[in-house]
A = this chain, B = another copy of it.
């Protein structure tokens, strides 16, 4: 045990086998990892209310189930993203209470229902094809203790649909905007409100959409200054960033 070697130092000082100066000198040469666990403690406190997360894509149902079961023992919420029905079948057998959120392609286990967020998070999507990514953001934010509202299918080519819900958006403390194709929606939303907008490019579209690159570039170049961006299709990341902001 690491702490042991330090405790021993103190014992030697106490027993006057070692002067305080020599002890400091020795401490300097103790390998770094002897104090490493402090960081973990610190981290643990910092992560209160953060769910345990599994990225399921490319894992076998058995692997997902095994990791899910192990994480479930920590007593926190558990979230498996990019999950399939088959993976859920395996998890369900291993962990009571796990549920499949079909639209979000996510398996969730809800233990901690504390509300950590101070306001409303609204998740906006441009088209119906962006919904899986948007739902991943919704589930993530909910599991992290936030009140979440959805506003879907309000893309910029029919700008009146978005404007008709402007009041709803204005009530939000953080807004997540998911859009593929040209990725223009975050700029328009960002111009309507004064709170942070988290933009998620989606890989929706074809041809020169290039699996989300067009949307990503569009969002990086947003002319609205309150917009920042996460990775393509990264609904989880958007939900996480929004939750971290909403706790402030």
A27 / chain B contacts, CB cutoff of 8 Å: 6, 35
Q: How far, in whole Å, are A203 and B20 apart by their CA atoms in the complex?
A: 49
Of A86-94, A97-105, A217-225, the one touching chain B: A217-225
Q: Mark A6-20, 1 if CB is under 8 A from B, else 0.
A: 110111011010011
Q: How far, in whole Å, are A27 and B220 apart by their CA atoms in the complex?
A: 37
Q: How far, in whole Å, are A203 and B209 apart by their CA atoms in the complex?
A: 13
Most buried by B among A38, A119, A193, A221: A221
**B232 & A229 in contact (Cβ 8 Å cutoff):** no
Q: Given B36, B163, B219, which contacts A182 in the complex, CB threshold below 8 Å? A: B219
A163 / chain B contacts, CB cutoff of 8 Å: 32-33, 36, 159, 163
Q: How far, in whole Å, are A236 and B182 apart by their CA atoms in the complex?
A: 17
A41 / chain B contacts, CB cutoff of 8 Å: 28
Of A68-76, A106-114, A237-245, the one touching chain B: A237-245
Q: Given B38, B164, B223, B246, which contacts A127 in the complex, CB threshold below 8 Å? A: B223
Copies, count: 8
Which residue of chain B has its CB nearest to the CB of A18?
B10
Q: Is A80 an interface residue (CB 8 A)?
A: no
Q: Given B156, B206, B208, B240, which contacts A217 in the complex, CB threshold below 8 Å? A: B208
**A225 & B240 in contact (Cβ 8 Å cutoff):** yes
**A228 & B228 in contact (Cβ 8 Å cutoff):** yes
A57 / chain B contacts, CB cutoff of 8 Å: 206
**B35 & A32 in contact (Cβ 8 Å cutoff):** yes
Q: Given B20, B237, B244, which contacts A194 in the complex, CB threshold below 8 Å? A: B244
Q: How far, in whole Å, are A246 and B182 apart by their CA atoms in the complex?
A: 26
**B194 & A184 in contact (Cβ 8 Å cutoff):** no
10 closest A-B pairs by beta carbon, nearest first, are A184-B184, A207-B232, A10-B20, A157-B191, A214-B217, A228-B228, A36-B164, A182-B218, A33-B164, A39-B160
Name 9 A/B residue pairs within 8 A (Cβ), A-sorted. Answer: A7-B24, A14-B16, A163-B163, A174-B248, A195-B248, A208-B232, A209-B220, A216-B220, A226-B244
